[in-house]
Amino acid sequence: MRRVVLILGLAASGCFYAPKVEDCAVACTDACPAGLRCLDGLCRKNDQVSCECHTGTERMCGVTRGSCRAGNQVCVAGAWGACVGEITPAAEVCDGVDNDCDGLTDQLAPAVLFEGPTRTWHFFSLDAGYALVTTRVTDAGDDLTELRTLGPGFEPLVVTTARVGPRALHDATALHSTVYLAWAYDGGLEVAGFTGGQRSPYDSVDDAGAGFRVRLAVNDQRLLAHWDQPGTPSTRLGRWSPGGQLTDVTDFATLDAGTDGFTPALTSEAHYALFTAAAPQDGGYLRVLVDTETLGIVRLDAPYYQYDLYDSNLLELPSGALASVYTYVFTDSDWSGIYLNPDMLTLTTADELTVEETMTNATAWGSSDAVVDAEGRVSFVYMDNVGRRLVLGRSVGAGALSQPPAKQPLGLSDGFGVPRLGAPGAGGFLPLAWNDQARITARLICPVR
């Protein structure tokens, strides 16, 4: 039997009530009075397309997650009204709250920067975004170097093929909007700058040596390249003007010690150079610090045992002090760890601060990376050897690390190569990139407070 449920009753004339468009309140099963039709369970005029809801009903709207809060909606004239009282997502800031309500506190969603395996890769902050430098081996056996310029949200802007050929990329660095690359070739050193995908050549060093390894650093006054001379008691420092002219190449003697097996480091401000040298008289190693402005050796460290300096971070703080952050592995034992040296100019190796050390799977310890913010605090990232997870840390005070730094796991575990940090950007976020062998991924993340 066909029937109509009359919510508002019959009119005084005895005829069926004819609902107005705004009523949306007469429920039906399959039939309605003449001139009306049953649509979505309600009797409506034939020219009425749809009703979203029963007039007068209410419902919750929005979500309650992070800083977001759900509101309330009322059905008016068959349509849901505005969501009243709702707190909507806001831009994520470093405040310990999930401001954009995506389930990630003080983090933004990750972005894939590169797909596929790489031989080497570098990641930098630019004035208006980021840069990714990758190298891989082509089917022809050549080295392919590519530079990707990225926007503030890691969106790709320009992809530049920087080099294809047998020349291996040794190092890369960046300043403002320019990325600088250094290649070795037939005993020579080639340097170039790239801005917006456009290449600016620099003078080459044709007699750089054989089998050397290079570290680059740059400031507003000059570009520096520091490289070792394997089998000799010296390292070399090349300096270029902002226009790309090679101004000088200087050799630094290291007493009677050789530098074979160790790679030099430069501060981010290109003021100091650091390298290690063998000290056969006691079986240890010397760390030598050079002022690249005066070209004079300002410090010779006491013998110090260290596995490798290749992934060492020599950081120049706003105060002029130097901090060093690096991982270490003792090849003749199971010990490994990560060290922070608060001030290389005043403290001895005994004063260095051990962040963490372990006796488990020492040879798998991941390398570290570190940056300095405008206040002089050091942020660093490394692979925790026990949990196989990435850990972010930060010095408590500016400059000297007088107490253990704050640390936090990042929820990223296993399968990672070397992590990379960029300089702090808008809102205090640190750009973090990591390589899981299949792709390179990046995320903006807050430093530990």
Sole residue written with tokens 């300095």: 372
Question: Alpha carbon 82 to chain centroid distance?
Answer: 39
pLDDT above 70 (res 194): yes
261: left (phi over 0), alpha (psi -120 to 50) or beta: left
pLDDT: which is higher, 126 or 20: 126
Quote the DSSP letter at residue 23: T
Read off the pLDDT of each residue in 12-17 and give the average, rounded to a whole number.
40
What is the predicted pLDDT for the residue at 159? Answer: 94
Residue 58 phi/psi, 5-degree rounding, is -130, 160
Q: Are 412 and 389 in contact (CB under 8 A)?
A: yes
pLDDT one-digit tens code per residue, 134-173: 999 888 888 899 999 999 989 999 999 998 888 889 899 9
Does pLDDT of 29 surpass 80?
Answer: no
Task: Say how far apart CA 213 and CA 205 lie, in whole Å.
Answer: 14
d(CA 57, CA 41) in angstroms, rounded, equals 15
pLDDT tens per residue across span 271-294: 888 877 766 555 566 777 888 888
Cα(181)–Cα(190) distance, integer angstroms: 8
Q: For residue 83, what is the DSSP state?
A: -
Q: Which residue has the higher pLDDT, 38 or 415?
A: 38
Kindly tell me if the per-residue pLDDT of 117 is higher than 90.
no
Q: Provide the CATH number for the domain formed by 111-445 in this structure.
A: 2.130.10.10
Dist CA 435 CA 59 (whole Å): 45
Residue 3 is encoded by which pair of tokens?
Answer: 């029937």
CA trace torsion 9, 12, 15, 20 (10° rounding): -60
The arithmetic mean of pLDDT across residues 311-339, rounded, is: 66
DSSP 115-143: ES--SEEEEEEETTEEEEEEEEE-TTS-E
Q: For 68-101, what is each residue's pLDDT tens digit?
A: 999 999 988 777 889 999 999 998 888 888 998 9
Any long-range contacts for 11-20 (C-beta under 8 Å, 24+ apart)? 18/45, 19/43, 19/44, 19/45
Q: Quick check: 446 and 145 in contact, CB under 8 A?
A: no
Please, which pLDDT band fits residue 235 given cuts at 50, 70 and 90?
confident
Average pLDDT over residues 109-128: 92
pLDDT band at 353 (very low <50, low <70, confident <90, very high): low
CA distance 246 to 298: 24
Which is nearest to 216 in space by CA: 162, 149, 289, 268?
268
Arithmetic mean of pLDDT, 421-431: 84
The percentage of residues in the chain with a pLDDT greater than 70, rounded to a whole number, is: 71
pLDDT reported for residue 78: 72
User: What DSSP element (H or E) covers 362?
Assistant: none
Checking if the pLDDT of 212 tops 70, the result is: yes
Amino acid at site 105: T
pLDDT digits (tens, 9 = 90+) for 254-274: 656 555 556 677 888 888 888
pLDDT at site 10: 34
Of the listed ranges 125-139, 158-172, 298-312, the least confidently predicted one is: 298-312
Judged against a pLDDT cut of 70, whether residue 305 lies above it is answered with: no
Task: Tell me which range, 47-61, 219-233, 330-344, 379-393, is most confidently predicted by mean pLDDT.
Answer: 219-233
Rg (CA), the chain: 32
